[in-house]
Amino acid sequence: MASSCTSLLLLSFLILYDYLPLSQSNQFCDAGVKYSESTCGFSSTSSSKLLIKGGTVVNAHNQEVSDVYVEDGIIVAVRPNIKVDEDVTLLDATGKYVMPGGIDPHTHLAMEFMGTETIDDFFSGQAAALAGGTTMHIDFVIPVNGSLVAGFEAYKSKAKKSCMNYGFHMAITKWDESVSREMEIMVKEKGINSFKFFMAYKGSLMISDELLLQGFKRCKSLGALAMVHAENGDAVFEGQNRMIDLGITGPEGHALSRPPVLEGEATARAIRLAKFVNTPLYVVHVMSIDAMEEISKARKSGQKVVGEPVVSGLVLNDSGLWNPDFITAAKYVMSPPIREAGHDKALQAALSTGVLQLVGTDHCTFNSTQKSFGIDDFRKIPNGVNGIEERMHLVWDTMVESGQISVTDFVRITSTECARVFNIYPRKGAILVGSDADIIIFNPNSSFEVSARTHHSRTDTNVYDGRKGKGKVEVTIVRGRVAWQDDELKVAPGSGKYIEMPPFSYLFDGIDKADAKYLSSLQAPVKRFSAS
Ligand code: URP
Ligand code: ZN
Ligand code: ZN
C-alpha cells in the first residue's frame, strides 16, 4: 500500500513537474533577406511551446544550469531535466547563457525632431533591436501642440507596425492646467509612468525651472518618475553662438559649444529641485564625469536618483567629431555630446560600482542625407546616434569581457533594473516561472562585428562600425516566439505588444514617510501672542 502510494505520488510529481505536454511548434515566416514588412499570416495570439535545454540560466540574483520551458509566451518551468514530447520546439543552449531579453529604456523611433524624422520606425528599429538581443524598449512620446493625449494617439499609430514589446515615456514641453490633467490620464489610463523634461533644446523642447518644479510636483502626486535631459539650454545657446562667431561651423563645434560643465550644472540643478520636492529622479543619457559625480553625491546622501549612461558615452570618445570627412564626423553628433577620452572609462567604473544603474542607447538615427542638413552649420545637424542593435554586445564586451562586472550584473544593467525602475518586474527582466518569455541565448565563445553594411537599422552609417568583440546573441525570443536565429530575423509588423507600466515603483517607497518627517520637523507655524 505504502509503495503504491509512493508510485502514485511519483507519477503525479512527474506529470506535474517534469513531463510537459505535447505541442505543435509555431514558426514565424522568414520575411526576407534582412526583413520585410509582409505580415505572412502571423497572428500574435497563436500558441507556442518551447524548451530551452541545458543552458546557464542567468538572473540578476543568480545563475544556474537549468532548462526553461515556455508555453503561450510565458515561462512555466525553470529547472533541470525537463522532459517534453518530440514536437515541442527544442533549443539547445549547452555551454551558453540563457538570459532575459534586453530592455532599452531610451529610444526615439519615428520621432519628428530638428526639422526631420528619425529614420528608424517602430518596425525597423525593433527588428534591429531583436537582432541584438533586445526584446523591449521604452520610447519617448512627444506631445502634439503640447497635448499629451494627441501625442499618445500619434505614437500609438506609429507603433502599429511593432514586432516586439514596447512602452512609452512622455515628454512635457509646456505647462498649463490641461497638461497637468493629461498627465493623470497618461498614468491612470494609458500605462505611462514616467515623464521627461528637457532642460536643453532652447526654442523647441526646453522648459524653465518653474515648469520643472510644477512637473516634478505633479509626477510625485501621480507616482510617476521624473526624467531629465540635463544640460543648461541657455548656456548651450550662448556656447553655440560663441562657436559660430569663432568661425567653427563643423561637427566639432557641437561638442565645443556644450562642454561637460553645462551637463554637470543642469544635473545638479535637477537633483536639487527633485530633493526640494522630495520625488525620485532619473537622469537620462549621463555623458560626463561632471554629471555622474553629481549623481554619486546625491545617492550617497540618500537621495533617490537613477543615472542612465548610454552605450555611446560608455564606449566612444569625441575624436570622431574632428574627422575631416563631414559625414563621418556628423554621425557622432548627439546631445549631450560624446565626451573626451576619460569620461567613457569613468562612466564604466560608475556603472560597475552601482553609482549608475542601467544602460540605454538613446537610439535616434538619421541617415547621411539628414545629417547633411548641417553641412554649413553644426546647429542644424540632427542630434542622435544608433545603438539599439549594438547595446547588448558592446556592454558585454566592454564590461563583462574586461572583467569589470559579472554575468549577473550584465543582466541587471541591461534588463532587470530597467524593469524594476519602470515597475514591470518580474513580468519583464527575469527568467522566472510566470515571467514573460523574453529570452536570449548568448554564446560567450562566439564573436560579433558591427557593420553599417549588415546592421538592421535603416540608417546608412553606424557609430560603432568595425567594432569587434567576444560574445554573440544567437537566439532572441519574444513572448515565446523565436524572432532571431541563425542570423535571420523572423518578424512581422503588427506582432508587437504595448506594455503598460503602473505608477509607484519601488523608488516611491518611503517618500510619504520622508514627507511626514519633514512636516513634523518644521516646528512651524509658531503660535504668537497677538500684538494688542
Ligand atoms: O542627441 C540626442 N540625444 N537625440 C535625441 C533626443 C534626446 O535629447 O534624447
Ligand atoms: Zn535627451
Ligand atoms: Zn533621447
Q: What is the pLDDT of residues 316-342, one digit of tens each?
A: 999 999 999 999 999 999 999 999 999
Residue 36 has pLDDT above 60, yes or no: no
Q: Give 386's pLDDT tier (boundaries 50, 70, 90).
A: very high
* Mean pLDDT, rounded, for 274-286: 98
Residue in 108, 114, 228, 288 to alter for ligand 1 test, most ligand atoms within 8 A of Cβ = 108
34: closest CA among 489, 344, 473? 489
For 113, 323, 339, the CA distances from 254, given in Å and listed in that order, are: 17, 13, 11
Please tell me the distance from the alpha carbon of residue 343 to that of residue 141, in angstroms, as a whole number. Answer: 29
Contact at 8 Å (CB) between 244 and 253?
yes
pLDDT in tens, 170-200: 999 999 999 999 999 999 999 999 999 999 9
Residue 530 has pLDDT above 90, yes or no: no
CB atoms within 5 A of ion ligand 3 belong to 362
Residue 509 has pLDDT above 70, yes or no: yes
Which ligand is nearest the CA of 361, by number?
3
The residue nearest atom 4 of ligand 1, judged by CA position, is: 384
Residue 99 has pLDDT above 70, yes or no: yes
Please tell me the distance from the alpha carbon of residue 64 to that of residue 270, in angstroms, as a whole number. Answer: 41
What percent of the chain is modeled with pLDDT above 90? 90
Please tell me the distance from the alpha carbon of residue 156 to that of residue 349, in angstroms, as a whole number. Answer: 38
Please tell me the distance from the alpha carbon of residue 459 to that of residue 452, in angstroms, as a whole number. Answer: 8
Residue 89 has pLDDT above 60, yes or no: yes
β-pair type (63-71, 74-79): antiparallel
- What is the dihedral sign for C-alpha 417, 423, 429, 431? positive
* Mean pLDDT, rounded, for 281-287: 99
Please tell me the distance from the alpha carbon of residue 249 to that of residue 72, in angstroms, as a whole number. Answer: 55
* Mean pLDDT, rounded, for 500-527: 97
* Mean pLDDT, rounded, for 66-91: 96
270 CA to middle of ligand 3, Å? Answer: 17
pLDDT (0 to 100) of residue 48: 86
The residue nearest atom 3 of ligand 1, judged by CA position, is: 335
Q: Which of 11-25, 295-309, 406-420 has the lowest mean pLDDT?
A: 11-25
Which ligand is nearest the CA of 111, by number?
1
pLDDT (0 to 100) of residue 532: 66
pLDDT in tens, 130-166: 999 999 999 999 999 999 999 999 999 999 999 999 9
What percent of the chain is modeled with pLDDT above 70? 91
SS3 call for 22: coil
Residue 93's H or E segment, with its range, is: none
285 CA to middle of ligand 2, Å? Answer: 7
Residue 194's H or E segment, with its range, is: strand 194-198
The residue nearest atom 1 of ligand 1, judged by CA position, is: 334
Ligand 1 closest atom vs CA 201:
8
Q: What is the mean pLDDT of the chain?
A: 92
* Mean pLDDT, rounded, for 237-248: 98
Which segments of 203-325 does DSSP mark as H helices, in order? 209-222, 233-245, 252-257, 260-277, 289-300, 311-315
> Of 349 and 25, which is predicted with more confidence?
349
Cell of 332: 557622432
β-pair type (225-229, 488-489): unpaired
332 CA to middle of ligand 3, Å? Answer: 14
Q: Give 33's pLDDT tier (boundaries 50, 70, 90).
A: very low
Contact at 8 Å (CB) between 24 and 411?
no
Cis upstream peptide for 100 (omega within 30°): no
Cell of 412: 541587471
Contact at 8 Å (CB) between 128 and 396?
no
pLDDT (0 to 100) of residue 183: 98
User: At residue 387, what are phi and psi to the nearest 5 degrees?
Assistant: 160, -15
Which segments of 87-176 does DSSP mark as H helices, in order? 124-131, 148-158
DSSP string, 390-408: THHHHHIIIIITTTSS-HH
Residue 10 has pLDDT above 70, yes or no: no
pLDDT (0 to 100) of residue 43: 37
130 CA to middle of ligand 1, Å? Answer: 22
Contact at 8 Å (CB) between 333 and 368?
no
pLDDT in tens, 211-228: 999 999 999 999 999 999
Please tell me the distance from the alpha carbon of residue 8 to that of residue 4, in angstroms, as a whole number. Answer: 6
Which ligand is nearest the CA of 228, by number?
2
pLDDT (0 to 100) of residue 136: 99
Q: Please tell me the total number of residues recorded for the chain in this structure.
A: 532
DSSP state of 360: B
The CA-CA-CA angle for residues 464, 155, 135, to 5°, reads 45
365: closest CA among 103, 118, 164? 118
pLDDT (0 to 100) of residue 68: 98
437 CA to middle of ligand 1, Å? Answer: 31
Ligand 1 closest atom vs CA 200:
8
* Mean pLDDT, rounded, for 45-51: 72
Residue 39 has pLDDT above 70, yes or no: no
Contact at 8 Å (CB) between 17 and 83?
no
Residue in 202, 206, 285, 366 to alter for ligand 1 test, most ligand atoms within 8 A of Cβ = 285
227 CA to middle of ligand 2, Å? Answer: 10
Q: How many CB atoms neighbour CB 453 within 10 A?
A: 7
Ligand 1 closest atom vs CA 108:
5
* Mean pLDDT, rounded, for 430-440: 98
Report the pocket of ligand 1 as residue ranges, CB < 6 Å: 108, 229, 285, 334-335, 362, 364, 383-384
Please tell me the distance from the alpha carbon of residue 465 to that of residue 389, in angstroms, as a whole number. Answer: 12
> Of 47 and 16, which is predicted with more confidence?
47
229 CA to middle of ligand 2, Å? Answer: 4
* Mean pLDDT, rounded, for 111-136: 98
385 CA to middle of ligand 3, Å? Answer: 10
116 CA to middle of ligand 2, Å? Answer: 16
The residue nearest atom 8 of ligand 1, judged by CA position, is: 335
Please tell me the distance from the alpha carbon of residue 233 to that of residue 207, in angstroms, as a whole number. Answer: 9
Q: Give 520's pLDDT tier (boundaries 50, 70, 90).
A: very high
| Intra-chain end-to-end CA distance of the chain, in Å | 96
Cis upstream peptide for 309 (omega within 30°): no
The residue nearest atom 7 of ligand 1, judged by CA position, is: 335
